[in-house]
């Protein structure tokens, strides 16, 4: 069955450093992968989407890579700030024949950025 | 404009009680999803609506779970005879068109259900 693995341990980093979060998947060939941010008591918020034919995608301080050979996506936050502290969820996806976008999420990695 | 809203935000139920959770999607959004999120886990798909049609209910854990969207806008997730294992956050998400392809899902804040 499809399996998505994210760092189970919380990631603690110092403000200003780069945070790198990992998403590995098995038994799956997604056409694209989405990253979401979730704060306590809130629903996930979309951050970035990367397609299988894209190696890298950037948005402000965020960068996502997608290696279909390694079956892995890396999510980077540069110049991290305490406000970046949250849980980050990855969701590889391939629209089924019906066409709708049913997301399968990893368990998420909790990031804590310390001043 | 307003995002996805859900009510109630918190619900405490006694085991065996029926509960109804409401989702108001973004106005005009065709597709609506329900997810269940256990503590420390990612959201897990429950069911999908395109307008009023329930096209996928493969994620509903048992026949105690029932969802509807009768007029293609507001949706209700009903859980009958609640059990302790039903305790979780129930998230609703909507997307604009529901057509094949890639769309961002807009999530509501969730309803936290605790079954005692």
8 A C-beta contact, residue A111 and residue A78: no
Average pLDDT over residues A100-113: 89
Q: CB count, 10 Å around CB of B53?
A: 10
pLDDT, one tens digit per residue, over B56-103 is 999 999 999 999 999 999 999 999 999 999 999 999 999 987 665 577
Which is it for strands B111-115 and B10-13: parallel, antiparallel or unpaired?
A: parallel
Record the tokens describing residue A42, joined without a space: 């809130």
Average pLDDT over residues B1-9: 90
Q: Which residues pair with B104 in a beta bridge?
A: none
Average pLDDT over residues B10-28: 97
The whole-chain average pLDDT of chain A stands at 91
Identify which has the larger pLDDT, B2 or A78: A78
Residues of B within 8 A of A43 (CB-CB) are 4, 91, 93, 107-110
DSSP letter, residue A79: S
Average pLDDT over residues B27-51: 94
Residue B109 has pLDDT above 70, yes or no: yes
Average pLDDT over residues A16-38: 93
The share of chain A scoring above pLDDT 70, in percent, equals: 95
pLDDT number for residue A102: 76
- With CB atoms and an 8 Å threshold, state whether B50 touches A100: yes
DSSP letter, residue A15: T
pLDDT number for residue B1: 54
pLDDT number for residue A16: 97
- Work out the minimum CA distance from A106 to partner chain B, whole angstroms: 5
Q: Does residue A1 sit at the B interface (CB-CB below 8 Å)?
A: no
Burial grade of A88 (CB within 10 A; 0-12, 13-18, 19 or more): buried
pLDDT number for residue A97: 57
pLDDT number for residue B114: 98
Indicate if the alpha-carbon torsion angle A95, A101, A106, A108 is positive or negative.
positive
Select the residue from A102, A104, A106, A107 to test the B interface by mutation, using most B Cβ atoms within 10 A. A102
């Amino acid at each position: 069955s499809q399996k998505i693995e994210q760092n189970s341990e919380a990631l603690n980093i110092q403000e200003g450093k780069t945070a790198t979060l990992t998403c590995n998947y098995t038994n799956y060939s997604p056409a694209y992968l989405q990253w979401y941010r979730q704060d306590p008591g809130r629903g996930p918020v979309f951050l970035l989407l990367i397609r299988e034919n894209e190696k890298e995608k950037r948005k402000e301080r965020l960068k996502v890579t997608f290696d279909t050979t390694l079956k892995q996506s890396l999510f980077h936050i540069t110049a991290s700030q305490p406000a970046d502290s949250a849980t980050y969820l990855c969701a590889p996806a391939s629209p089924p024949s019906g066409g709708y976008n049913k997301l399968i999420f990893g368990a998420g990695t909790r990031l804590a950025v310390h001043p | 404009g307003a995002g996805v809203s859900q009510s109630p935000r918190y619900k405490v139920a006694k085991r065996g009680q029926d509960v109804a959770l409401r989702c108001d999607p973004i106005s005009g959004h065709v597709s609506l999803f329900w997810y269940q999120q256990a503590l420390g886990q990612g959201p897990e798909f429950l069911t999908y609506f395109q307008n009023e049609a329930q096209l996928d209910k493969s994620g509903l854990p048992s026949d105690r779970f029932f969802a509807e969207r009768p007029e293609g806008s507001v949706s209700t997730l009903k859980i009958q005879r609640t059990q302790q294992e039903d305790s979780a956050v129930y998230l609703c998400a909507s997307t604009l068109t529901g057509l094949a392809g890639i769309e961002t899902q807009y999530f509501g804040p969730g309803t936290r259900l605790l079954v005692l």
